[in-house]
Each structure stands twice: as structure tokens, then as C-alpha cells.
Structure 1
């Protein structure tokens, strides 16, 4: 698997599309309207701070679009996205899309990106069956709803402790004070990472989030990415060595001793799986918590309703996932010619699947640009679907529900203080860098 993950988000203003959020930025130039390839080339604050008018444009005018300049397809309609993600024709690995190119064993190419690719190539996220099935099967017992329920009291205790610390002041950055440390503490405890090492995760995770985005990378970032891959590999190799000598009640120890020894992870697979769980286990949940809180504060009537009806908390989390999803897109490769939306995707071509657009499709959701905490039904695909449906969905949902419950109970008068949302410059993950609030 080559380095680089394709991503795509953008913003376009079209007549009749007016986002309801008071913090949206619907303005964009006529050049931006017609230069669709530019939306998928690089991050731009002016165009990506509010991608939803652009999504609306795609849904109405170009739900299946080939971006010839970059050589990939963009699929945005809910029905098409749902169909594509479930169809085994669409795969993650080049070797499964174009097997004839791998008739001979590939030469081992040693290059500067090797530390990064050694990790990504062993992520179940980028593998197909049977490797994906095996890796997922080994990790999935830790993420069943029953296993998650055993964590509920501890997660709530952590959330209440963080809220208590926040309450010592009149203002706080919700990201650094609450939304980041909560999922980090949870996934670190699950993996068996010592408390004093949790802060290391922040820089590593943000770096890998940018790696996953793909696209243009500066020489400076290349050094940062390679350094992060080397550092995190050494870190988990040492932690794994400790667990081999002295197992504990944590996920690393469990993965070192599977019930069926034939399925045991190699050391590199185990290191890569730990890194994946670190990134996926907290990067998206930080965004889920803060994005949903921002939507609530941005919609006072919904905020007031949740205060009066806390039984809607789980539903509010689902609406937050739909309305301002932590992950905006994913990608696949066609392993055969495939006709969709009246157009044919050729075998071997990349497809960018717009989760964020699908979750605003008016054919699936009534009033899709409205944030409604009691939306029913709400069959969003923020966690994707098909074989690669998010393994950590039960944990993310529970963390989001507990986080909202604690924050709403402890800080019912919370207000958003920033003049506009500070979206992090990433086209794949949609999340805030900071979120200053008055308590």
C-alpha cells in the first residue's frame, strides 16, 4: 500500500442553500463554484470551514462526479454511498483491485516513508478479507456493547472529574479541558498505557490524522510524520515487551495471548493495531463531543430542549454524528467495472465516498440542514457501513452520551465564546482545534 490517503471536502454557495448555523460561512466565489477539483486538492479555511453548501450542490447537480485532474470519483448521495460501501466489488487494497499487477512478489522498496507505511499497511482499516476479518476478529471482543457497559461507570467517573476541574474557572477550552482528555484516558486505560504517557498521544494522533488526509505534504511535515511513526513504534514495542514479561488486565495483554494461537498477531501487527486504536479511539471521539456541543450551543432551542428532556441525550449524540460528523469521507478502489448513477467506474479507479454529504441528503433526511435532537428515524452513516463499519462505534456512542450528560448537567448555562469555530485544518476529520466556552 502506497503512502497517501485520498480525501475530499469543500464549500460551495448555491441559490437557496442557507445553513442554519449562526457560525457558518456560506460565501464563496464564482471561481470556487466552477473549480470543483480545487475542493479536493488542499485545505482552505475559507472553503472548508462550512462544506455543507458544497455538499448540497453535489447532491443536487453532480452526485456521481469524476475528478479527471486527480483521477478519482466522488460519490455523495446517501443511497449510492450506502450501496457502494456494502458492495464487495469495492476494496481497500490495490492488490485486490488489480491482482494482475501483483503476479510477481513485489520488491521491497526501502524509502523514507517506510516507518509510516509499516504501520498503515497493518491497519485493518486498509485491509480486505481475509486479513481484515482476522485482525478485526481478534480486536472486536473488546468493543462489544456488553464489554462497553462494563466501562460505563469508569467513563462517567472520568467525565465528572474533568468537569469538576473545569468548574474551577469561569471559562475553559472545552477541547483541552474535557473533549480531548476523556477519550484519551479511556483508550489509554483499555490499552494499558501508563497515565504519565497519555500526553504523548496528542501530538502523535494529530500527526497521523494529517497523514490519513493524504494530499500534498511539505518536507517539514514529512520529517514530522516519519519521526512520529518511529517514536510511536518504539513506544509500543517497549510496552509490548513489558506485557510479555508481566501481563496485566488490558487489551495489549489480551492480544498477546489469543484463544487460538494460530491467529496471534505478529509484533508489527500488534504495534500497528495499538496505533490504530489510539488514533481511531480518540481522534474521532474528541470531534464527536465538541462538534455536538457546538451544535447545541449554536441552536439554543435544541439546547434548551435537551436540558428539559435529558432522555434525548442518546438521540442528540446520533444527530450530532449526522449533522457534523467527525469523519467526512472515506475511500475505496473498484475491483471491477461498476455502473452507478448512470456512469461507469472503471476497475482500479479510486472512489471518494462523501459521508458528510450523504448525511445531509434530503432524499434520506427531512430538513437535512436542521439540527434536531429528536430526529427519528436517523439512519446516518457517520460510522460508515458494510465490512468496515466502525469497530469502536459502541464506545464512541457511550462516551458521547456520557459527555453530553455530564456537561449539560454541570454547565447548563454554557456559552460559546469564540467569534467563529476554530476548525482544525484537516479535510478528512472534522473537528475543532480549540473551543472557548463560558461556564
Structure 2
């Protein structure tokens, strides 16, 4: 589907959600504009799925308790649940322990046990730590003739931060890249090839074994990290994480705390370098780093969509979504809704107000949003200060082939 195409048939739309399309992913915004203007609540009958794109409707679905994450909470108790193959059970078990896919009260419990790691007090403590990391990485970039901003900076910064929070030794950080990308593909839910299944199962087994071993080490030799804190809580509380829940939570924090922030930083830098004068504007007014982060989150949302299941018949936008039907809410489209944002297709690093939905909303509002914002702000301010003349070496973005996460594989720059 080309950038110039303004009409889309249902077969083409269904294909977009069933398989990766390089053309569509390169520029999904004409498609989103079509959804917003022509099909804001679209039913794909053959997929038993609704596509919701307008800001008001997306916000409603995310906040309404009638839309749930767990299929068993959306259908009658006597209805048979979908089965999984024996080989896929380790992956399914991991995902079932992610708070991301749970409803209250399990979601509330899991979220509450790790929320202390993302409080304002913790963020204040992390500021100098993140700044030191950003400065160190910028020093490394300065020694390269043509650095890849993703590999040298955007990927490395959040990996170091989340690894340090969890207590992962520095020499093990490199292991996380392939593991994280594997689970990013799981969340996308498009690839079902034998190779994908094999890679996912292997990544699940490897990362589970890794964190099981690290947890065992912290039981005998606690340190100042999140795993040690969670283990200490087991000594004081009756409601604690099981070992499987703790392993799954560590994996979720790794993936969510790194994959999306890499995209945030990379997308923000490319946008700043693509818009004449915006990097200079940020260099002259460093305080704009905070609003620049918010605008990058809105304009090129790191997470493009998320899903819910209707637990009752619900009317949205004049259409009735039936109990048990899946709803795909398009965060990337909602963040370009002209009914919510003036000139939605214009990138403005000083935009205010900016009530975007990049971190979702409601009960599942991103737990790590304060950390992502802090990392993004420090990253952009540091780069603008150190490299005010930075520029792209190629105008053609190198996008990750993933319809759920929007970010770059590489971003070569000249300093």
C-alpha cells in the first residue's frame, strides 16, 4: 500500500494485521488517516476482531473495565479455553505471568509488588546515574567517524539502566538483545513460522534459566537491586511473587523497559534531525527536552497498538462489539487524531498540551513511563548539547520489521 493510496479494502486491512508489510510499515499514516476518517470502528469479521482508531474511542476502550486482557474473563465459565501445544507451554506460562496480560486482582497484585521501582523518589535517585551513562556513551560516539546511534547510544542506555535496576552483571548485558527481540516478535503475534516458534522457545528457556540462576545468587548474596528487594519482601509479607512470577516479571521489565525506550530515543533523534532547525532549537533551549520527548512519543509512537477483549456487548462509535470479540486499539492512529491534536501531522517539540496515548491509559498505563521519560529527556538533552551539528547520513529510515513496535534497526549519523 503506497503513501499515495487513500482507500483501503477490508482484505488489505486484514492482511496488514496478519503479516508484516514493508511498504505499510515505512509510512502507516495514510492508512491511519483512512481509519480515522472513514472506518474509526472497523469490524474484520473473518478475524473476529475490531479495529478502533479515534482518540476518544481508544481511550474509552483502555479505561472501561468491560474490556479485559484475559480471554477467560470475557467468556462464560463453561466455555472451553484455547489449547496450546506442549512445546509452546513454557512460552505460554511465561506470558501468563506477565502483569501486561492479567486483569485485576492478579494485575493489581503483580503491579503493586514492583511499583516501588518507578516512584518519583527512585527517579530522582536515578537522574545522576542515567546522566553519567549518557555522558559515557556520548564520549564513545565522539570517537567514531560515523556512529550508529542505535547501537552506540539508544540501545545501550536503557539496557544499562534496566540491567542495573534488576542487578544484571555488566558482562551479561549483551545477552539481552536477542532475547528482547524474540519477545518483541511474540508480542507482535504475526510470525508463526517454525523458525519463529523454535527461536521463541529457545529464548524463553534461556532467559528463564538465566534469571532463575540470578535469583538463586541473590538469595544467598543480596545486593542493592530489584531482585534482592523482591526477595527481601518475601521475608516480610505473605503476598509475594512466586519464583515463576519473579522470573516472568524480570523478563517483562527487561523487554518493556528496553525495547520501547530504544525506539523512543531513536525515533526522537531521527525526527529532530529530519526537521530543519529542531536540533538547534533544542540545543538553544535544553528545557524543551521534556516536551520533545512527549512529542516524539505522540508523533512516532514506540508502541503502535494494543489489544483488549470485550467481556460484554459494548457500543463504541455507534457499533456494537460483542462479548468475546477482540479489539485492536490503534495508539499510533489515536495520537494523530485531528479531533485531539491541532495539526497532528506536524512535529513540534514545544507542543502543549500533549495528552497522547503512547503509554496507554487506565489500569494498564505503562508502569515504566516515568523511567522512559527520564531516560528520553536526559538522552536528548545530552545529544543536543554535545553534538549540535549532528546530521543523518541517509534520509531513508531503517525500520525494525515489526508492526507492533515502531523503531529503527540502525541510525547512522555524522557528528
> Is the structural similarity TM-score above 0.5?
yes
* 8 Å Cα contact 1:323/1:371 also seen in 2: yes
Deviation at 1:237, TM superposition (A): 0.3
TM-score with structure 1 length normalisation? 0.91
Distance 1:29 1:109, change over 3 A: closer
- Is residue 2:31 matched to residue 1:54? yes
1:172-191 residue pairs with structure 2 within 5 A?
A: 172-191=147-166
Deviation at 1:28, TM superposition (A): 4.5
The 1-side partners of 2:88 and 2:148 are apart by 35
- What secondary structure sits across from 1:172 in the alignment? coil
- Is residue 2:44 matched to residue 1:44? no
What residue is the counterpart of 2:47 in the other structure? Answer: 70
- What secondary structure sits across from 1:101 in the alignment? coil
Distance 1:219 1:108, change over 3 A: closer
Deviation at 1:44, TM superposition (A): 1.1
Deviation at 1:310, TM superposition (A): 1.3
The 2-side partners of 1:290 and 1:395 are apart by 16
Compute the RMSD of aligned alpha carbons.
1.7
* 8 Å Cα contact 2:390/2:414 also seen in 1: yes
Q: Structure 1 stretch 208-217 or stretch 380-389: which is displaced more?
A: 208-217
What residue is the counterpart of 1:97 in the other structure? Answer: 74
* 8 Å Cα contact 2:41/2:53 also seen in 1: yes
1:403-422 residue pairs with structure 2 within 5 A?
A: 403-422=379-398
The 2-side partners of 1:151 and 1:365 are apart by 32
Q: Cα deviation per residue 1:259-292 (whole Å; 9 max; x = unaligned)?
A: 7521110000000000000000100000000000
- What secondary structure sits across from 2:340 in the alignment? coil
The 2-side partners of 1:159 and 1:107 are apart by 46
1:39-438 residue pairs with structure 2 within 5 A?
A: 39-101=16-78, 111-258=86-233, 260-438=236-414
Deviation at 1:314, TM superposition (A): 0.3
Deviation at 1:30, TM superposition (A): 6.8
Deviation at 1:107, TM superposition (A): 11
* 8 Å Cα contact 2:263/2:408 also seen in 1: yes
Q: Structure 1 stretch 274-283 or stretch 144-153: which is displaced more?
A: 144-153
Deviation at 1:307, TM superposition (A): 1.9
The 1-side partners of 2:303 and 2:241 are apart by 28
Deviation at 1:384, TM superposition (A): 0.1
Deviation at 1:149, TM superposition (A): 1.1
Distance 1:31 1:102, change over 3 A: closer
Structure 1 stretches of 4+ with a deviation exceeding 3 A read 27-34, 106-110
Deviation at 1:379, TM superposition (A): 0.3
* 8 Å Cα contact 1:171/1:438 also seen in 2: yes
Distance 1:95 1:239, change over 3 A: same
Deviation at 1:112, TM superposition (A): 0.8
Q: Structure 1 stretch 350-359 or stretch 142-151: which is displaced more?
A: 142-151
Structure 1 unaligned segments of length 5 or more: list them: 1-11, 14-25
- What secondary structure sits across from 1:74 in the alignment? strand
The 2-side partners of 1:420 and 1:215 are apart by 25
The 1-side partners of 2:91 and 2:344 are apart by 38
The 1-side partners of 2:53 and 2:7 are apart by 22
The 1-side partners of 2:11 and 2:216 are apart by 55
The 2-side partners of 1:298 and 1:65 are apart by 33
- What secondary structure sits across from 1:275 in the alignment? helix
* 8 Å Cα contact 1:417/1:437 also seen in 2: yes
* 8 Å Cα contact 1:327/1:430 also seen in 2: yes
The 2-side partners of 1:170 and 1:133 are apart by 48
Q: Give the number of equivalent residue pairs.
A: 414
TM-score with structure 2 length normalisation? 0.97
Q: Cα deviation per residue 1:283-330 (whole Å; 9 max; x = unaligned)?
A: 000000000011111101322221221111100000000000100000
Distance 1:318 1:69, change over 3 A: same
- What secondary structure sits across from 2:150 in the alignment? helix
- What secondary structure sits across from 1:351 in the alignment? strand
Q: Cα deviation per residue 1:83-121 (whole Å; 9 max; x = unaligned)?
A: 110000000001110142369xx7996611112111100
